[in-house]
Amino acid sequence: MINPGMDLTLFFWNNTIAILVVMFVCYLASFRQTILFIFVLAFTLLACIQFTFYSQHDSIKIMSFIKLMLLLPFGLGVVLTFAIFSENLEPKFLLWFSRYINFAVVANIFVMVFSPDGGTYRGSLSRFVCLALLIWLLQEMEKKHFQTTKFDHGFFIFRSSPLQWVYCHAAYRIALLSLPTFDSLHYILLEPLSLVVMFALYRLHKKSYPLHYYFGFSDTLVTTTLTVLMWYPITLPFKYNGPYVIKLQENQLDNIFIPIQLVVIGYALRAIFKNINNPADRQSPVNTSRVPQ
């Protein structure tokens, strides 16, 4: 049977649900961290029970479960633990938390180098873009002496992703998610929502820090939320059958995204060489002053 393309009804339903749930999670992360932490524990326990009682475990289910666990309890769960108990935990364990977050961020980006290219040119080029962004990020971490994290009134602050890097990373990941490996409508709003939530957290925290300091928190919230929605999809309450939109061919997607990838890798290389030629830009690890109001 010929694939009719993308179902617009399902597309709008999934993305409407994603926007509403992400808005709710953003509110909880800003003002009700304890409630969000309880949700994280509940969904983690439920997912573990369901996975245990599956009749068979194929490779896709196993990888999906591992991804969910890395994002839910070991990602957002750890961040919320420090957010809730930061006054007691931060003085003793913030350095170890920074190391944990740094390792998680670097490892998460590095494994994307090995994403299947799907036999596409943009898939092959994305590996070089990913490496360039990773080197750039490591340089920014080194400027902070790898003491990259901070908490302020429950808000998770990550200080080593400049705004230019955030935008380049967004462009890179949009191209990455267009590959056949990531053929899912659930992640189509990943980048727009991550950027919107970054702005929302910045405003909700009364612009206490530079805008890009909130990207780490926003990306953690959005990525985890969309992954949970894939694990527990909210289905349409009625039958649907189109209308359909024909998907672009792989060579057409290559023509769209390869120029974007070339711009990103060019900008990343420019930033890398600029950092190499200006080592004096290193900043003190204790420089966490707020933005003047």
pTM: 0.90
Residue 285 lies in a domain: no
Q: What is the pLDDT of residue 129?
A: 97
- pLDDT of 172 reads 97
Using DSSP, state whether 245 is helix, strand or coil: strand
With tokens 């792989």, the residue in question is: 250
Give, in degrees to the nearest 5, the angle at Cα 68 between 32 and 113.
115
Please indicate, yes or no, if residue 1 is contained in any of the structural domains.
no
**For residue 9, what is the enclosing H or E element?**
helix 8-31
Q: What is the pLDDT of residue 292?
A: 41
Residue 164 CA, chain-centre distance (Å), reads 16
Place of tokens 């799907």: 118
Residue 119 lies in a domain: yes
Domains of the chain: total: 1
Asked if residue 283 belongs to a domain, the reply is no
Q: What value does the CA radius of gyration of the chain take, rounded to a whole number of Å?
A: 20
pLDDT given at position 220: 96
d(CA 80, CA 78): 5
- Residue 104 resides in a domain: yes
DSSP H helical segments within 56-85, as ranges?
59-71, 78-84
Provide the pLDDT for residue 53: 86
pLDDT in tens, the chain (293 residues): 455 677 888 888 989 999 999 999 999 999 999 999 999 999 999 999 999 888 777 777 888 899 999 999 999 999 999 888 877 776 778 889 999 999 999 999 999 999 889 899 999 999 999 999 999 999 999 999 999 999 998 899 999 999 999 999 999 999 999 998 886 677 889 999 999 999 999 999 999 999 999 999 999 999 999 999 999 988 888 777 778 888 888 999 999 999 999 999 999 999 999 999 987 555 555 444 454 43
User: Considering the domain boundaries, does residue 289 fall inside one?
Assistant: no
Is 268 inside a domain boundary?
A: yes
- What confidence score (pLDDT) does residue 288 get? 47
Q: Which domain holds residue 151?
A: 6-234+247-278
Residue 13 counted as domain residue: yes
